[in-house]
Structure 1
Amino acid sequence: MRKLRAGVVASAILLAAGAASAQDCAGLKNLRLDSTEITAADTVTSGTLDLPEAVSLHDLPAFCRVQGIMRPGSDSKIRFEVWLPAKNWNGRELGVGNGGFAGVIGYQQMGGYLLRGFTVSGTDTGHQANGTDATWAFQHPEKVKDFGWRSIHLTAQRSKEILRAYYGKPQQKSYFDACSDGGREALMEAQRFPDDYDGILAGAPAYAWSTLLASGVSAMQALGDPTAYISSFKLPAIQKASLDACDSLDGAKDGIIGDPSQCRFDPQVLLCKGEESLDCLTQPQIKTLQTLYNGARSKTGQPHGFGFSMGDELGWAHWIVGEDPEASAFSQFVRNDFRYIVTGDPKWNGLTADPDAMMTLSHDKSAEDLDSTDPDLSKFSARGGKLILYHGWNDPAIAPGYTIDYYKQVRQKMGADKTGSFVRLYMVPGMEHCIGGPGATAFGQFGVPTEKGSRFGLFDSLENWVEKGAPDDNVIATRFAPQGNAAHQPSLTRPLCAYPTVPKYKGSGDINDAASFACAQP
Structure 2
Amino acid sequence: MPVLVTICASVVLLAACGGNTSSSALTAATTKPLTCDDSMKTAFKPDVNTTVTLVKAFKKGDDLNLSGTSSGVTATNDLCMVKLNVGPGNPGPAGAPSTSPGIGIEVWLPSPANWNKRVHVVGGGGWAGGVQGSTTAIAGLPNPLAALFPAVAVSTVAIAETEGAVSASTDTGHADTAGGGSFAMNPDGTINTALWTDFASRSIHEMAVDTKALATAYYGIAPKYSYWDGFSTGGRQGMKEAQANPDDFDGILAGGPAFNWSKFITGELYPQIVFQRDLGGTPLTTAQQDLVSNAAISACDSVGGQHLGYILDPSACKYDPTADRNVLCAASGGANSTPACVTPVQAAAINKIWYGITSDGSAPVPGSDNGWASVTSLTGPSGVQRWFGQTRGTSLYGAFFGGTGLAGVNGPFTVASDQVALELQNPTIAGPNFVNATGNGASGWKALSYAQLSNAFDQGIALQSQFGQINTDNPDLSAFKSHGGKLLHYHGLSDELIMPQGSVNYYTRVVNQMGGDLASVQSFYRLFLIPGFGHGSLNGTANPAANPPVPAAGQLYQVLAGWVENGVAPDKIPLQNQGGTITRPICMYPSKPTYTGGDVGAASSFTCS
Instruction: Name the TM tier (shorter chain).
Output: 0.7 to 0.9
Whole-angstrom distance in 2 between the partners of 1:333 and 1:460: 31
Who is 2:103 aligned against?
A: 78
Whole-angstrom distance in 1 between the partners of 2:179 and 2:355: 25
Query: After the TM superposition, which residues 224-373 of structure 1 pair with which residues of structure 2 at under 5 Å, given as runs?
Result: 224-225=276-277, 226-227=279-280, 229-249=283-303, 252-268=306-322, 269=324, 270-274=327-331, 277-299=338-360, 301-313=383-395, 316=398, 317-324=403-410, 326=411, 328=412, 330=413, 332-339=414-421, 341-348=422-429, 349-353=444-448, 354-366=452-464, 368-373=468-473
**Alpha-carbon contact 1:393-1:431 (below 8 Å) kept:** yes
Cα drift, residue 278 of structure 1: 3.2
Change beyond 3 A, Cα 1:54–1:175: farther
Report the more deviating stretch, 253-262 or 188-197.
Answer: 253-262
Who is 1:33 aligned against?
A: 46
Aligned partner of 2:245 among 180, 184, 193: 193
Helix, strand or coil at the partner of 1:313: coil
**1:358-410 deviation line (CA, Å, top 9, x unaligned):** 11211122454311100000000001011111000000100110101101110
**Alpha-carbon contact 2:251-2:564 (below 8 Å) kept:** yes
Change beyond 3 A, Cα 1:373–1:403: same
Helix, strand or coil at the partner of 2:198: helix
**Alpha-carbon contact 2:396-2:408 (below 8 Å) kept:** no
Change beyond 3 A, Cα 1:32–1:217: same
Matched, 1:49 2:49: no
Whole-angstrom distance in 1 between the partners of 2:594 and 2:74: 40
Query: After the TM superposition, which residues 499-518 of structure 1 pair with which residues of structure 2 at under 5 Å, given as runs?
Result: 499-509=589-599, 511-513=600-602, 515-518=603-606
Whole-angstrom distance in 2 between the partners of 1:42 and 1:495: 44
Change beyond 3 A, Cα 1:358–1:54: farther
Change beyond 3 A, Cα 1:520–1:417: closer
Cα drift, residue 520 of structure 1: 3.0
Aligned partner of 2:171 among 99, 118, 124: 124
**Alpha-carbon contact 2:119-2:226 (below 8 Å) kept:** yes
What is the one-letter code of the residue matched to 2:103? Answer: I
Aligned partner of 1:425 among 519, 527, 532: 527
Change beyond 3 A, Cα 1:118–1:23: same
Matched, 1:407 2:507: yes
Larger RCO (alpha carbons 8 Å, 6+ apart): 2
* Total equivalences in the alignment: 488
Whole-angstrom distance in 1 between the partners of 2:577 and 2:34: 41
Helix, strand or coil at the partner of 1:134: helix
Report the more deviating stretch, 280-289 or 172-181.
Answer: 280-289
Give 1 or 2: higher strand fraction.
Answer: 1
Whole-angstrom distance in 2 between the partners of 1:56 and 1:146: 33
**Alpha-carbon contact 2:58-2:75 (below 8 Å) kept:** no
Change beyond 3 A, Cα 1:205–1:132: farther
**Alpha-carbon contact 1:13-1:161 (below 8 Å) kept:** no
Helix, strand or coil at the partner of 1:175: strand
Whole-angstrom distance in 2 between the partners of 1:91 and 1:376: 30
**Alpha-carbon contact 1:229-1:285 (below 8 Å) kept:** no
Helix, strand or coil at the partner of 2:428: coil
Bigger Rg over Cα: 2
Cα drift, residue 49 of structure 1: 1.8
Query: After the TM superposition, which residues 421-460 of structure 1 pair with which residues of structure 2 at under 5 Å, given as runs?
Result: 421-437=523-539, 438-440=546-548, 442-443=550-551, 448-449=553-554, 456=555, 458-460=556-558
Q: TM (normalized to structure 1)?
A: 0.87
Report the more deviating stretch, 374-383 or 303-312.
Answer: 303-312
Who is 1:60 aligned against?
A: 76
Who is 1:471 aligned against?
A: 569
Whole-angstrom distance in 2 between the partners of 1:350 and 1:468: 51
Aligned partner of 2:584 among 477, 494, 500: 494
What is the one-letter code of the residue matched to 1:138? Answer: M
Helix, strand or coil at the partner of 1:14: coil
**1:177-210 deviation line (CA, Å, top 9, x unaligned):** 1011111111110000001111101011111111
**1:193-238 deviation line (CA, Å, top 9, x unaligned):** 0011111010111111111122234332102244463111213311
Helix, strand or coil at the partner of 2:294: helix
Name the Cα RMSD after superposition: 2.6
Query: After the TM superposition, which residues 175-190 of structure 1 pair with which residues of structure 2 at under 5 Å, given as runs?
Result: 175-190=227-242
Change beyond 3 A, Cα 1:214–1:413: same
Cα drift, residue 10 of structure 1: 5.3
Report the more deviating stretch, 150-159 or 224-233.
Answer: 224-233
Whole-angstrom distance in 1 between the partners of 2:547 and 2:593: 12
Whole-angstrom distance in 1 between the partners of 2:177 and 2:577: 29
Change beyond 3 A, Cα 1:183–1:40: same
Whole-angstrom distance in 2 between the partners of 1:54 and 1:175: 31
Change beyond 3 A, Cα 1:59–1:235: farther
**1:286-309 deviation line (CA, Å, top 9, x unaligned):** 121111111112249432111111
What is the one-letter code of the residue matched to 2:244? Answer: R
Helix, strand or coil at the partner of 1:424: strand
Change beyond 3 A, Cα 1:278–1:13: farther
Who is 1:165 aligned against?
A: 217
**Alpha-carbon contact 2:396-2:407 (below 8 Å) kept:** no
Task: Mark the runs of 5 or more structure 2 residues left unpaired by the alignment.
Answer: 1-19, 92-99, 133-138, 143-154, 187-191, 361-381, 430-443, 540-545
Whole-angstrom distance in 2 between the partners of 1:440 and 1:20: 53
Change beyond 3 A, Cα 1:13–1:46: farther
**Alpha-carbon contact 2:120-2:167 (below 8 Å) kept:** yes
Who is 2:198 aligned against?
A: 146
Helix, strand or coil at the partner of 2:446: coil
Change beyond 3 A, Cα 1:28–1:479: farther
Cα drift, residue 127 of structure 1: 1.0
Change beyond 3 A, Cα 1:416–1:504: closer
Whole-angstrom distance in 1 between the partners of 2:184 and 2:216: 34
Who is 2:608 aligned against?
A: 520
Report the more deviating stretch, 126-135 or 192-201.
Answer: 126-135
Matched, 1:376 2:376: no
Who is 1:453 aligned against?
A: none
Change beyond 3 A, Cα 1:112–1:278: farther
Whole-angstrom distance in 1 between the partners of 2:425 and 2:548: 42
What is the one-letter code of the residue matched to 2:108? Answer: W
Cα drift, residue 99 of structure 1: 0.6
Helix, strand or coil at the partner of 1:245: helix
